[in-house]
């Protein structure tokens, strides 16, 4: 059983929903990013999404775009991102880490080498937003053969004809994007999300977590109440961009996690 599967089984047994956090690797610098990363489990994070900095993040809004720029300017690379995860694993061998980003850096690094190094670093899953199911041979199938989950995005525009293709070869969980558009845009509405989550769950047996448009503990609770978990990214990254201390960032994360866990 993977760390992701084990975490969801543990949460289900305790009647709790998952809280998933997103931070950009190397934002605002390597050492601060590592300190935040190490503090996330203690702040209530069940699954860590770790952003892979990239120059052209097409699905991300200004907040995460700027985080990627800060990380790149601070010298962050794919190799250093894996080093960050590997160092985190020295103190935490249980919390799942999902690497989220784009295919270009992975392709440039070399898929086979990347999967070997990612597995060695303790990466449990991948979300690669610009690889559709038609390109599963590129990374999805090799990743799963290497023991790394490939997590697919479903969106409000994923219709019933498309959904089975999206679910095919997906593992770990399904990430439902609650709004159309980029990260950090509109707010997610539980009333809109609930029927979509039910539709996805009817198409497969994977947990469904919901992200985009969640900024407050109250919103995290509302969304988690209709899904298997909630993801918060831009709101956390905004605190880092504002220069909040590590303690302040983790306090904010703790409040968000408390919201999701109270659903």
pLDDT at residue 186 in the model: 59
Q: What is the CATH number of the domain that holds 154?
A: 3.20.20.70
Strand 229-232 to strand 152-154: parallel, antiparallel, or no bridges (unpaired)?
A: unpaired
Q: Report the catalytic residues.
A: 49, 60
Q: Read off φ and ψ for residue 23, nearest 5 degrees.
A: -135, 155
pLDDT at residue 19 in the model: 98
CA-CA-CA-CA torsion sign (90, 67, 7, 41): positive
Per run of 10 residues, the mean pLDDT along the chain (length 263 residues) is 97 97 98 98 98 90 94 98 98 98 97 98 97 95 98 93 95 90 63 93 96 94 97 97 98 98 96
pLDDT at residue 59 in the model: 79
Global pTM exceeds 0.85? yes
Q: Which residue has the tokens 């203690």?
A: 42
Please state the domain count of the chain.
1
pLDDT at residue 91 in the model: 97
Domain that holds residue 234: 3-261
């Amino acid at each position: 059983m993977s760390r992701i599967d084990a975490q969801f089984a543990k949460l289900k047994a305790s009647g709790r929903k998952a809280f998933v956090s997103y931070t950009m690797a190397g934002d605002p610098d390597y050492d601060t990013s590592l300190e935040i990363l190490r503090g996330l489990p203690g702040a209530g994070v069940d699954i860590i999404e770790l952003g892979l900095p990239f120059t052209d993040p097409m699905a991300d809004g200004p907040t995460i775009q700027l985080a990627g720029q800060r990380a790149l300017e601070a010298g962050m690379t794919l190799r250093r991102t894996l080093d960050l995860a590997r160092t985190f694993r020295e103190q935490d061998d249980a919390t799942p880490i999902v690497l989220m980003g784009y295919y270009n850096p992975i392709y440039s690094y070399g898929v086979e080498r990347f999967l070997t190094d990612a597995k060695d670093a303790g990466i449990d899953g991948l979300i690669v937003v610009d690889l559709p199911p038609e390109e599963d041979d590129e990374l999805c199938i090799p990743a799963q053969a290497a023991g790394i989950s490939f997590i697919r995005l479903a969106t409000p525009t994923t219709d019933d004809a498309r959904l089975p293709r999206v679910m095919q070869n997906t593992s770990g969980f399904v990430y439902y994007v609650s709004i159309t558009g980029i990260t950090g845009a509109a707010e997610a509405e539980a009333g809109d999300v609930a029927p979509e989550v039910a539709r996805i769950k009817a198409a497969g047996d994977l947990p469904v977590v919901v992200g985009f448009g969640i900024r407050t503990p109250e919103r995290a609770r509302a969304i988690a109440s209709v899904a298997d978990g909630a993801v918060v990214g831009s709101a956390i990254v905004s605190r880092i961009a504002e220069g909040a201390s590590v303690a302040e960032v983790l306090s904010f994360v703790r409040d968000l996690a408390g919201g999701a866990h109270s659903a």
